[in-house]
Chain A
């Protein structure tokens, strides 16, 4: 049942130009950045050769690429998630789901999974770029995998917030702006602190950035992974609760 909803959600994305445009734009921008990083690497190459403990290809190209991808997708994910519930509410199609013999949890998970499927596609497209380097040069696959996992978890978190914001309103634009705002806030939460998750500040702990960076440095800390999972679960539960409350009409 969840899969049925997920699959329709995924297919509907591709029935409008939105998904294609998003894939194209993300790819174009990231490819441009990717090429920029490669060029930088070529400029630095001679100097790197002289250093003892020089950073490798992966650290110079792949890690910043994933870092940039996170920012770009922070802008893009709200645009994908905005329609999820709000548009159904607006077009009055939500009652189709509400009167079908399925639970609210299945509806929310189905929709979430549909978006995850799309984001997985985006992730694969991004991963292809560094992998192309592997043909010629050989990259640090461990670091690459850790970065990819981090990015995946981060995107899943973005999607969960986006889904929640979409349940709150019937205007997709409002959903997009509020989820963008929420994401940005979670991102910059720790700008003033400059701290890491370790120093005890709540803001530092809540900052998504602080839980993403270790992955880019190749550190897989299960605490960070669990933070992301909890983050996702929180917003999914909130979405389910909100849809239920909606039906109660409180």
Chain B
């Protein structure tokens, strides 16, 4: 990957009193990437987002945005970031236009370019019709869009979005995702969410964070590669003993799922399908259903974020 590194996080830790919310987190985001940040509640997603955007100072480690260290040169680093926090930071008593003008001024957009910048941001986020309305009177979905417009008004190289689709209706969610993908073409986007399909849809890279530690960091393609074909779900009319199945070449383990399904895990390159079908016919097990059990991102997520070491191998 030769693209420019826009976000470089090195061994960032963050304490709240004795509670360590981030533990030596390091990662990079290149230009034009959409990075999905996944984690259960309280995993440290928001802390990570706030640290990247300079809302929180890291207890140790360094954050570099577009070549500027966030602590040493905060102004240049922050100019390269657009941030949409969990709750859109909007002033309810202003109209959309007034608010965006204010944001443009805060981001040091010259007066003459404020208006075009505002109009572009509004057009991007589908706000063109509501420019003169008070933000307080807009629906949650529209407020979210205003928050998003605020984050991209100065065309920052890096856009950080903290759960951008929470509280939106399905159509708006699709629009926002479309918008994020659109943004991903020109900007780098870091997105935190706990909605898994969202990550599969919009992100290039996934990072799963749990209790402050990065537990997985991979591209969506790589992830899907692991997921495919590592297991099958089968159903027999006369199920044999699990131990019998486990002796089939290539099978690593067999698990009982919801009756009558069994889940067969195997080595990725040794697919035992043929063998199982043959044995079924020979021994009259009555195999009537078999499908590749693609481990969903959901399962990986659950496995990585709950403390069950036994199931870790399902991912590998």
Using CB atoms and an 8 Å cutoff, list the residues of chain A in contact with chain B. 1, 4-5, 8, 12, 15-16, 91-103, 247-249
Contacts and interface: CB of A to CB of B under 8 A. Distances in A.
A96 B93 contact: no
B78 A100 contact: yes
Contacts of B279: none
A249 B83 contact: no
Contacts of B302: none
Report the 5 A-B pairs with minimum CB-CB distance, sorted nearest first.
A96-B89, A101-B79, A100-B106, A99-B83, A93-B89
B172 interface: no
Contact of A98 (B54, B94, B103): B54
Contacts of A92: 85-87, 89
Contacts of B79: 101
Nearest to A247: B57
B156 to A, nearest CB: 10
Contacts, number: 76
Contacts of B74: 101, 103
Contacts of B14: 249
B108 A96 contact: no
Interface in B63-100: 74-76, 78-79, 81-83, 85-87, 89-94
Nearest to A87: B91
Interface residues of B, number: 33
A101 B55 contact: no
Contacts of A103: 74-75
Nearest to B93: A15
Contacts of B53: 95, 98-99
Interface string B213-236: 000000000000000000000000
A249 B106 contact: no
Nearest to A96: B89
B102 A101 contact: no
Contacts of B103: 96, 100
B112 to A, nearest CB: 15
Contacts of A16: 93
A249 B56 CA distance: 7
B83 A248 contact: no
Nearest to A16: B93
B55 A102 contact: no
Interface in B87-144: 87, 89-94, 102-103, 105-108
Contacts of B54: 98-99, 247
Contacts of B83: 95, 99
A12 to B, nearest CB: 6
Contact of B76 (A5, A101, A102, A248): A101
A249 B57 contact: yes
B1 to A, nearest CB: 27
A103 B76 CA distance: 11
A18 B88 CA distance: 25
Nearest to B160: A99
A24 B94 CA distance: 23
A99 B55 contact: yes
B288 interface: no
A245 B94 CA distance: 29
Nearest to B77: A101
B150 interface: yes
B55 A12 contact: no
A98 B106 contact: no
16 contacts: A1-B106, A1-B108, A5-B106, A12-B93, A15-B94, A91-B89, A91-B92, A92-B85, A93-B90, A95-B53, A95-B89, A100-B78, A100-B106, A101-B106, A102-B75, A102-B106
B241 to A, nearest CB: 57
Given A4-B106, A101-B107, A95 B85 contact: yes
